[in-house]
Amino acid sequence: MKSARLLSILLLLQARPKMSTRDLAECLEVSRRTVLRDVEALSAAGVPVNAERGRNGGIVLLTGARLNVSHLDPGEVETLTLGGLDATQLEQLNLSGIAHQAFRKIAAYQQRLTVHANSVPLRDLILIENTSWMTRPDHTVDIAKLVVDLQQGKRLPITYRHSNADDPVQYVVDPYGVVAKSTRWYVVADHRGQPRMYALSRLWNYEVTTDPAVTRPGDTLHTVWSSLKASVETPGDITFTANLRTSRLDRAHRILGTRLQQPIPVNQEWSQVAIHYKEIEAVRQLLQVGDHIEVLAPTAARQRIRELAEDLTKRHA
């Protein structure tokens, strides 16, 4: 809408009293001609803004002009409470426009402050990017629509495929909300009174019923997620011992995370490590380290990785 764009121009000029038409056009995703027309409209309405021509010209908010346009509306305030989301996640929630408008208002307000006048703004020093390297969105559900539906507080029949399963199954769940964990989104819900998380990448579809969601008293999205997260990250009670090339410790930490315990140097080339898993079959993950690891114990894990290696050898013969 033109009115929203005019407000955006004012907010941008509050933060930076002079901007080129090119910069304004890029920020607003419009043409430079549109920017000039908008500036003419603002000037005609009595706003002290001018277009200066020449090499060093630009769109200028006259010195001393301070317009109170930094009031946040309820939608902007609510969006700012989701401060941990990056640009991609805000886009997935259809909140990019609201977030950008709120940030512009804050920038305009900060421009009036003199406490940190000589400091570089944090927004120019810190960029939050939650997307993992070389990943793409893997969900098929419209996250923005899902969140709107969840705001109704109703039960959801869902069709969900579990990891490594071929066919989906049907559940009726009582949702608490959604969680963004790095690049992945999860629905957190109770199923028959038990906490569960469902990856949106395997959520085929859902429906909204007229029945109210029945969640456990005293529990919230935050408490349930904390419990689920702890159960996933709790180290298994099976300890694998292995020799790992010291030069590959950084890679092993990226792959294994908290499963990998503090390494003990064996010699200049190798270190001994302890890795905690919940089952022997999890030894498959160690294949990602390639020939830089030797599993020593337990015997069942060493035998299993030998079988996997022999199978790979046959396939590549």
Total of domains in the chain: 3
Residue 109: predicted pLDDT: 62
Q: Would you say residue 86 lies in a domain?
A: yes
Q: Is residue 270 part of a domain?
A: yes
Model confidence at 266, pLDDT cuts 50, 70, 90, reads: very high
Which of 231, 259, 289 terminates a domain? The answer is: 231
Percent above pLDDT 70 for the chain: 87
What pLDDT is attached to residue 167?
94
Mean pLDDT of 60-79: 66
- 6 and 96 share one domain: yes
Q: What percent of the chain has pLDDT above 90?
A: 49
Are both 182 and 251 inside the same structural domain?
A: no
Tell me: do 7 and 31 sit in the same domain.
Answer: yes
**Of 231, 247, 270, which one is at a domain's C-terminal end?**
231
CATH code (residue 259): 3.30.70
Same domain, 217 and 245: no
Could you tell me the residue range of the domain that residue 81 belongs to?
2-124
Residue type (1 letter), 160: Y
* Residue that is last in its domain, among 167, 196, 231: 231
pLDDT at 116: 53
Residues 205 and 256 in one domain: no
Average pLDDT over residues 231-251: 92
Give the pLDDT score at 299: 96
Mean pLDDT of the 74-93 span: 78
What would the mean pLDDT of 215-227 be, rounded to a whole number?
95
Give the CATH number, domain containing residue 15: 1.10.10.10
Q: Are residues 196 and 218 in the same domain?
A: yes
Kindly state the average pLDDT of the residues 113-135.
71
Q: What is the pLDDT of residues 3-30, one digit of tens each?
A: 567 777 777 777 776 788 888 888 888 8
Range 221-229, long-range pairs (CB < 8 A, 24+ positions): 221/176, 221/177, 221/179, 221/188, 224/176, 224/188, 224/190, 224/195, 225/176, 225/179, 225/188, 225/197, 227/195, 228/188, 228/195, 228/196, 228/197
Inter-residue contact 214 to 227 (CB < 8 Å)? no
120 plus 173 within the same structural domain: no
Place of tokens 């109704």: 152
Q: Which residue has the higher pLDDT, 66 or 40?
A: 40
Q: Which of 68-82, 96-110, 205-219, 237-251 is predicted with the least confidence, judged by mean pLDDT?
A: 68-82
* CATH number of the domain residue 197 falls in: 2.30.30
User: 160 and 219, same structural domain?
Assistant: yes
Which tens digit of pLDDT belongs to each residue from 180-212? 998 899 999 999 999 999 999 999 999 999 999
Query: Is 27 a domain residue?
Result: yes
Q: Mean per-residue pLDDT for 59-82?
A: 68
Residue of 295 and 121 predicted with greater confidence:
295
Q: In angstroms, rounded to a whole number, what is the distance separating the alpha carbons of residues 65 and 46?
A: 12
